[in-house]
Structure 1
Amino acid sequence: MEAQTIYLNKKAPSKAANITGWVITVLCVLFLLVDAIMKVIKNIYSMEGSVKLGWPAEQVQGIGIVLLIATILYAIPRTAVLGAILISAYLGGAVAIMSRINEPYYFPVVFGILVWVSLFLRIPALRALFPIQNSQS
């Protein structure tokens, strides 16, 4: 019963939070789409970068397709949480690859945080699951 009450909390986000969430979402989607499409069409720069990171060239297109599907799911409001989970898994792989070759991995970590912050700002149920209390209450 308790899980149902979390999802029944329909208090809409403020207009500023909603707009900020959508702006972050659009920026994330645009970046992810460019990355995914470059991998799918086997862009020379994307291929060189992926091979430099240790990926076999024949796997780069498949990785791009997975990222494209996750990004499309993230862009659709009804499936945004599933898309964010898949993007988080993708970015976790990026962190692992960057760690393995001793490169800084801040970008995928920050990008993953932005993906979830955008949903947190837009979706009341996420705010109910992860309440952030104002200390002045």
Structure 2
Amino acid sequence: MEATMLNQPAKVRSGKGVLAGKIISVICVLFLLFDSIMKVIKESHSIEGSAQLGWPVDQVQSIGIVLLISTILYIIPRTAVIGAILLTGYLGGAIAIMVRAGQPLYFAAVFAILIWVGLALRDEKVKNLLISKQ
């Protein structure tokens, strides 16, 4: 009898699309890490901006921790999909806050799209899931 592996290693993809996906993902991750760390360390501009949007000052650090954990999950290839889902939820909340505050919401919406585009370009399974041809 011959044993088969259930968890076969993923094929290493290369090319311009994968490179573009990595670049998009790195740009998103750098911004998200900066934003989350500023919230976690309670940087004054981050606290003031969040307070202007209606967040209680004592909750900004907790929001930063959630964003930091979600971003770290997005960075790790095995957990990138759950990270993208959590970041999408986070950015959906940001859109809701922006609507309530009367601010433009396009940045958070475009950012959420970029998170998924970056992931789809670098992960074939996600790409096939998002662009299923039936």
CA distance in 1, matches of 2:104, 2:11: 39
- Unaligned runs of 5+ residues in structure 2 are 1-7
Matched, 1:31 2:31: yes
Matches within 5 A, 1:1-137: 13-131=13-131
Q: 1:131 offset after TM fit, Å? A: 2.2
Greater RCO (Cα-Cα under 8 Å, separation 6 or more): 1
Give the AA of the match of 1:129: L
CA distance in 2, matches of 1:12, 1:99: 41
Q: 1:129 offset after TM fit, Å? A: 1.5
Deviations 1:30-72 (A, max 9, x none): 0000000000000000000000000000000000000000000
The 8 Å contact of residues 12 and 124 in structure 1, kept in 2 or not, is answered as no
Q: 1:127 offset after TM fit, Å? A: 1.9
CA distance in 1, matches of 2:81, 2:65: 19
CA distance in 1, matches of 2:16, 2:132: 17
The 8 Å contact of residues 13 and 121 in structure 1, kept in 2 or not, is answered as no
In structure 2, do the counterparts of structure 1 residues 26 and 86 end up closer, same or farther at CA, with 3 Å as the change threshold?
Answer: same
Give the AA of the match of 1:117: V
Moved more, 50-59 or 124-133: 124-133
- Unaligned runs of 5+ residues in structure 1 are 1-7
TM-score (ref. length: structure 2): 0.88
CA distance in 1, matches of 2:131, 2:101: 37
The 8 Å contact of residues 22 and 118 in structure 1, kept in 2 or not, is answered as yes
Give the AA of the match of 1:62: S
TM-score (ref. length: structure 1): 0.86
Q: 1:12 offset after TM fit, Å? A: 6.0
Give the AA of the match of 2:15: K
**Count of paired positions:** 126
CA distance in 2, matches of 1:83, 1:130: 16
Give the AA of the match of 1:127: K
Over the matched positions of the two proteins, sequence identity in percent amounts to 58
Extract structure 1 runs of 4+ deviating beyond 6 A.
none
